[in-house]
Structure 1
Amino acid sequence: MISAPTYLQFHLVFTLPALAALWAITPRYEGLRRRRSAAGIAVLVGIAYAYTTPWIAHMIRRGAWWYADGAVLVRALSIPLGEYLFFAVQTLLVAFALHRIGFDPSFRNGDFDRRPRIAGVLVGLAALFGGLWLVSLDESFLYLGGLLAWVGPVLALQWAVGGGYLARAPRPWLAATFLPAAYLWTVDRIAIGLGTWRISAELTTGMAVLGLPIEEMVFFAAAGMMAANGLVLFQWVLDWYDRRATLPEDRHDDPIDRAPVPIGSVEPVESVEPAEPMGSVESVELGEPAEPGVDPDLVDD
């Protein structure tokens, strides 16, 4: 009997080659866009490790899934080294797919529209409290309910910040979410079939698509969506800050301190000489002041 592949062998065969292929076709930016793209990826990878590690460790300890004998070589906090590698691999797959698809991070008027932001927050909160309710309902909802409660706060926060932008330009982040997820669904099903890891029947709903538990499908889609949203919002926020920094400061309390009007943009207004009072006549050059009521032209030399 052939033993199940190890977790690291799984990465060498399925995830790392896909990552290298996407990296090869990813556009090469220059200057500021390149620096911001690299910074966004680094920030999202760091967040993925910080936010995902406690949840994954809890699920493994509860027995939501486990690994074949010999499939795990190194563990830390109950989490296999291959699982830690997956955090970075999926984030990078989403990032490279997103940049290959292309997106415009420019801020536009209306991106702070309250309606999509409020709707996104409500969906995130519904996922959080709905997931907690499912976990309390029955142990078969542990994986699904815990997953919804894990993703809910992040989605609520992301949509609270940039829901208007996410609703205005959904194609890039949706494509960057589901294209890598579709590939990961496929290779995850292969790994389950080979026995590298197994999903608990007691802590899941038992519903599956082509042998892949729906919990696994929701996980890869949810994790990809959080990464895609985070990547586009990172650059969008920086663009908003750039535009805000270039706007002149509003100084309503100081009407004198205003931007100068360019020369030629306004027609000059001719000055009007004030009318002289009736009865006053200026003296002729080198002449004496005329007496009141006497015509100067009639004055003898």
Structure 2
Amino acid sequence: MIPTLTYLQFHLVFSFPLLAILWYVAPRYDAVRRRRATAGIAILVAIAYAYTTPWISYMIRCGAWWYADGAVLVRALSIPLGEYLYFAIQTLIVAFVLHRLGFDPTFRDGDFDWKPRVAGVLVSVSMVVVGLWLVSLGDSYLYLGGLVAWVGPVLALQWSVGGGYLARTPRVWLTATLVPSLYFWVVDRIAIGMGTWIISDTYTTGIAVFGLPIEEMLFFASASLMTINGLVLFEWVLDWNDRRGDPDGSPIDALDPADG
């Protein structure tokens, strides 16, 4: 029988080594791109803590999942220290994967087209409505419905800003979402199998893939997607701002030899 890991031991085995590898193979950007990538990651980590903490705390207090005896050493707002670490760890892993795969943040004519922006916002707002409706159906939809409703506002904001760019670059954000999600799904299933954390049968639909509840699969995919969108749109907005301020449409920073 595989021994149960504490949450911190889980990170030592599955999180920190991967982060070290991804950091080592990260692309070596020029000074400007490096500053922008670093700033984007830092902002997304901060947003992850601000936006995720209330939702995770509520779900834990409702009993959507809990942790093995002895797996948690410290809690704040019902959330274990290991979970707080996961907010940053997941954001960093997703960011490193995105930059390793590569993306072009260049603004192009048509990126402010209203059609994809409106369509994206409508779909995202519909997610909030559907999520709340699912929650109203009963306890077994609490996790799923709460998750869908939680994701909707973020996607609505992202598509309202850069829907044209996102519609133009689906391969980027779909691939960069799927790759880290596959890893998170595997290690999450391992953690559940070891009993480090336990997903409630009462507050989930009972639908699972190879023993992994679909709610967990959707959580990691959704969190990755929101992170990817945030990172690419951050650099895209900066590129748009550069071009807006330069008559010939070239990024201003690229014209500054001091930035090398």
Aligned equivalent of 1:253? none
1:38 aligns with 2:48: no
Aligned equivalent of 1:235? 235
Q: Give, in whole Å, the separation in 2 of the partners of 1:60 and 1:24.
A: 35
Structure 2 residue runs without a partner (length 5+):
249-260
1:19-98 equivalence runs, <5 A: 19-98=19-98
Q: Give, in whole Å, the separation in 1 of the partners of 2:118 and 2:137.
A: 28
Matched residues, number: 248
Q: Give, in whole Å, the separation in 2 of the partners of 1:35 and 1:2.
A: 43
Deviations 1:37-72 (A, max 9, x none): 100000000000000000000000000000000000
Aligned equivalent of 1:224? 224
Letter in 1 for 2:42: A
Question: Given that residues 2 and 194 in structure 2 are in contact (C-alpha distance below 8 angstroms), is that contact kept between their aligned partners in structure 1?
Answer: no
Deviations 1:97-145 (A, max 9, x none): 0100111101000001111111111111111110011111111100000
Aligned equivalent of 2:127? 127
Aligned equivalent of 2:182? 182
SS in 2 for 1:175: helix
Deviations 1:150-206 (A, max 9, x none): 000000110010010011112222111110000000000000000000000000000
Aligned equivalent of 1:109? 109
Letter in 1 for 2:76: A
Tell me the CA shift for residue 4 of structure 1. Answer: 1.5
1:157 aligns with 2:157: yes
Identity %: 72
Aligned equivalent of 1:268? none
User: Higher relative contact order at CA 8 Å, sep ≥6: structure 1 or structure 2?
Assistant: 2
Q: Give, in whole Å, the separation in 2 of the partners of 1:84 and 1:28.
A: 29
TM-score (norm: length of structure 1): 0.81
Tell me the CA shift for residue 5 of structure 1. Answer: 0.7
Tell me the CA shift for residue 3 of structure 1. Answer: 4.9
Q: Give, in whole Å, the separation in 2 of the partners of 1:240 and 1:2.
A: 52
Q: Which has the higher mean CA deviation after the structures are superposed, 216-225 or 164-173?
A: 164-173
Q: Give, in whole Å, the separation in 2 of the partners of 1:138 and 1:245.
A: 53
Letter in 2 for 1:93: I
Letter in 1 for 2:116: P
Structure 1 residue runs without a partner (length 5+):
249-301
Q: Give, in whole Å, the separation in 2 of the partners of 1:129 and 1:16.
A: 37
The structure with the largest helix share of the pair is 2
What root-mean-square deviation, in Å, do the aligned CA atoms of Structure 1 and Structure 2 show?
1.1
Letter in 2 for 1:35: R
Deviating 4+ runs (over 6 angstroms): none
Q: Give, in whole Å, the separation in 2 of the partners of 1:96 and 1:171.
A: 17
Tell me the CA shift for residue 247 of structure 1. Answer: 3.4
Structure ID, larger Rg = 1
Q: Give, in whole Å, the separation in 2 of the partners of 1:138 and 1:76.
A: 28
Q: Which has the higher mean CA deviation after the structures are superposed, 13-22 or 201-210?
A: 13-22
SS in 2 for 1:246: coil
Q: Give, in whole Å, the separation in 2 of the partners of 1:180 and 1:19.
A: 12
Letter in 1 for 2:158: Q
